[in-house]
Structure 1
């Protein structure tokens, strides 16, 4: 088993890992968002859509493709 065999498996594993990691980051930022989150929100007039938690949630949705393909099968 060479390194060429391991590469596709690693790529698949990273694809499945991205969405849950970003979802956890969104939850963590929403629950424990510190001064950096407050700074980002204050820069854009206090909009709740300007925070890091929203960005992590959107990234989680963007990277949900491998999970959706797995569920569809």
Structure 2
């Protein structure tokens, strides 16, 4: 592999590890009712990546190349 490919692989691995670290730090809560779940979701909606989106520069699943039709 070229030096550029190795560097790219290392950067991707670091991003994946950072994402996994963030996921392991998430605190889980026990929900006893649907009402509690709705309340929790409403209180934490600003930090929810499914609602707010993910920064394109840190998104591991973003397409690396664009498709151009001629």
TM-score range, shorter chain: 0.3 to 0.5
Q: Which has the larger radius of gyration?
A: 2
Q: Per residue, is there more helix in 1 or in 2?
A: 1
The structure with higher relative contact order (CA 8 Å, sep 6+) is 1
